[in-house]
Chain A
Amino acid sequence: MLKPVTVNYPAERLPDEFTKTLEEIRGKHRFDEDKCVGCGACSLVCSSGAITVSDSQDQRVLKVEVARCIFCGRCRDICPEKGLELTSEFELSQTGSRGEDCVKVEQKISMRRCEGCGRPTFPTKQIDSVKTRVLDKIDPSSKETASRDLEVYVKYCLDCRRTRSYAFNIHPRKSY
């Protein structure tokens, strides 16, 4: 008889020549706790709307619904901090009767609050990440002005900034 090529799944897995393929498989998501800053770029670019960003008083929660995901990898490609990776875990079947019962992956980031109105503004880690990415690399002549303005910016939300824009005097070309 011909030797069967069947893999006795689930007692056996695919043989070793498939190891490289198995490592490159796009499976369940995993947020890197340290690297993710909570910017929400993955949610903007998600093809099927599987990643949602919800802000509460002190926390931003990024939730990935694996049920809606099509495993395209755009979220992983666009993450500026390389904080989201698609592991090679693809055995995700489960019993259940609604799509919402399916497994979800979450990431929680702490948020700053506006000092004017108290609403959540930005994740703290995102501010640090902007400082390292932008401030360290701009022209040294404008670096001081920019960092001073940034300190004022991050304290308030957008609406509060608008109401206080005259008092802040932070436009770089204004000269009064």
Chain B
Amino acid sequence: MTPTVTSFEGALLLLLVSFFLGVLYSYEVRKISARLQSRRGPWLLVPKSLRKTLGTTRLFQPLYDIIKLLYKQSIIPETARTRLFKTAPLIALTCLGAAAILTPLAGYSPFASFELSLVAVLYLLLGVPLAFVLGGAVSSSPWGVVGSQREAELVLAYETPFVIGVFTVAVMADTLSIQSIVAAQISRYPYLLLNPFSAAAVFLAIVGKLHLKPFDIPEAEVEVVAGPMTEYSGRLLGLIEIGKVLFTSISISLFIDLFLAGGMIPELGYPLVALIFILEGFLVVSLITLVHTLNPRFRIDQAFRWYLKVPTLLSALGLAWAYSLRYLHTAILWG
């Protein structure tokens, strides 16, 4: 049951493509939320008179943010624990790198299909809030401490519907390997149609994971200055931003793999499958942005209570539905 890597170059390529897609998704969030507020957002095409000084397009604006931060001076507070302070973003990046390699993208994965890859990805994705909580707690500032408390509480809130929803999909496919789940959907129907309740629960949990409104509580600008990331600046902040971009990409890829058959419609050749994967990614991101733009921010206790009401109810309903499909209407799932 040990995972076997079929190609290391493929893993590296997958990591880069994942990062690149995450950059595009972050740009899309900013652009669509700007358009919904009747303003322009970062330019897709810079006006002609400004092209010399300001470039031709700002499609890779999040990438420019990251590169600028990587070249800036890093100021570390005197009373912070320096080693833990510098290690926290690296923990997040390591977990995310491993999770990015494990999540298949448009049907390609450098690992041969192995059982428990879904569990591995879930555990690795938990490393990111852990790193945030750690980074906020050791930066000796009250904003960091309050922000990390809120991050911990939010993780407890959104993990419940997320895990139940994801394991519902495993129940329906009778396997815990993501590649086998995708294969099971290809032969029958995508699980978005078979079990929309779980899809809704996982969608709402992803909105919380990505720190988008109404759940951007740990990084609330007006309340805690930047939450756990208040004391980070320069290179370390750049690493955190890389982590955020990768986190977006992995969450969306996971959603598409589990509920939309990984973009793989049978009978279609490979380039079209990749295109469909990316289009489905943009569609899911646009729905997430709709929720993000049209909502105010919850309080942390409101978010906690809400997550244990509606999404947990939806995921429990989805689980019951999955079991009824499995034992009462077996023909729909397999057969």
Q: Which residues of B in the span 115-134 have a Cβ within 8 Å of any Cβ on A?
A: none
Question: In the assembled complex, which residues on chain A have CB atoms less than 8 Å from the CB atom of B48?
Answer: 11
Q: Are A5 and B39 in contact (CB under 8 A)?
A: yes
Q: How far is the CA of A1 from the CA of B38 in the complex (A)?
A: 8
Q: Are A4 and B36 in contact (CB under 8 A)?
A: no
Q: Which residues of B in the span 273-321 have a Cβ within 8 Å of any Cβ on A?
A: none
Q: Number of contact residues on A: which range applies?
A: 10 to 19
Question: In the assembled complex, which residues on chain B have CB atoms less than 8 Å from the CB atom of A1?
Answer: 32, 35-36
Question: In the assembled complex, which residues on chain A have CB atoms less than 8 Å from the CB atom of B34?
Answer: 4
Q: Are A2 and B50 in contact (CB under 8 A)?
A: no
Q: Are A6 and B39 in contact (CB under 8 A)?
A: yes
Give the B interface residue count (CB, 8 A).
11
Q: Name the distance in Å between B55's Cβ and chain A's nearest Cβ.
A: 14
B49 within 8 A of A: yes
Contact with B along A1-33 (1 / 0, CB 8 A): 111111010111000000000000000000000
Question: In the assembled complex, which residues on chain A have CB atoms less than 8 Å from the CB atom of B39?
Answer: 4-6
User: Which of B35, B47, B49 makes the CB contact (< 8 A) with A4?
Assistant: B35
Among residues of A, the one whose C-beta sits closest to the C-beta of B41 is A4
Question: In the assembled complex, which residues on chain B have CB atoms less than 8 Å from the CB atom of A4?
Answer: 34-35, 38-40
* Chain B interface, >50% SS class: helix
Among residues of A, the one whose C-beta sits closest to the C-beta of B49 is A11
Q: Name the distance in Å between A126's Cβ and chain B's nearest Cβ.
A: 47
Q: How far is the CA of A127 from the CA of B324 in the complex (A)?
A: 104
Q: How far is the CA of A10 from the CA of B38 in the complex (A)?
A: 19
Among residues of B, the one whose C-beta sits closest to the C-beta of A11 is B47
Question: In the assembled complex, which residues on chain A have CB atoms less than 8 Å from the CB atom of B50?
Answer: 10-11
Question: In the assembled complex, which residues on chain A have CB atoms less than 8 Å from the CB atom of B32?
Answer: 1
Q: Are A5 and B49 in contact (CB under 8 A)?
A: no
Among residues of A, the one whose C-beta sits closest to the C-beta of B48 is A11
Q: Are B47 and A2 in contact (CB under 8 A)?
A: no
Q: Name the distance in Å between A4's Cβ and chain B's nearest Cβ.
A: 5
Question: In the assembled complex, which residues on chain B have CB atoms less than 8 Å from the CB atom of A8?
Answer: 40, 47
Q: Do A2 and B40 contact each other (CB < 8 Å), given the known contacts A10-B50, A11-B47, A11-B50? A: no
Q: Which residues of B in the span 8-49 have a Cβ within 8 Å of any Cβ on A?
A: 32, 34-36, 38-40, 47-49
Q: Name the distance in Å between A15's Cβ and chain B's nearest Cβ.
A: 15
Q: How far is the CA of A1 from the CA of B44 in the complex (A)?
A: 15
Q: Which residues of B in the span 39-89 have a Cβ within 8 Å of any Cβ on A?
A: 39-40, 47-50
Among residues of B, the one whose C-beta sits closest to the C-beta of A4 is B40
Q: How far is the CA of A11 from the CA of B36 in the complex (A)?
A: 23
Q: Name the distance in Å between A134's Cβ and chain B's nearest Cβ.
A: 55
Question: In the assembled complex, which residues on chain A have CB atoms less than 8 Å from the CB atom of B35?
Answer: 1-2, 4
Q: Are B49 and A2 in contact (CB under 8 A)?
A: no
Q: Name the distance in Å between B30's Cβ and chain A's nearest Cβ.
A: 14
Q: How far is the CA of A12 from the CA of B46 in the complex (A)?
A: 12
Question: In the assembled complex, which residues on chain B have CB atoms less than 8 Å from the CB atom of A6?
Answer: 38-40
Q: How far is the CA of A156 from the CA of B251 in the complex (A)?
A: 89
Q: How far is the CA of A12 from the CA of B49 in the complex (A)?
A: 10
Q: Name the distance in Å between B21's Cβ and chain A's nearest Cβ.
A: 22
Q: How far is the CA of A8 from the CA of B38 in the complex (A)?
A: 13
Give A residues with C-beta under 8 Å from B. 1-6, 8, 10-12
- Nearest first, the 3 closest Cβ-Cβ pairs linking A and B are A11-B47, A1-B35, A6-B40
User: Beyond A4-B34, A5-B38, A11-B48: 13 further Cβ-contacts under 8 Å?
Assistant: A1-B32, A2-B38, A3-B38, A4-B35, A4-B39, A4-B40, A5-B39, A6-B38, A6-B39, A10-B49, A11-B47, A11-B49, A12-B47
List, sorted by A's number, 14 A–B pairs whose CB atoms are closer than 8 Å: A1-B36, A2-B36, A2-B38, A4-B35, A4-B39, A5-B39, A6-B38, A6-B39, A8-B47, A10-B49, A10-B50, A11-B48, A11-B50, A12-B47
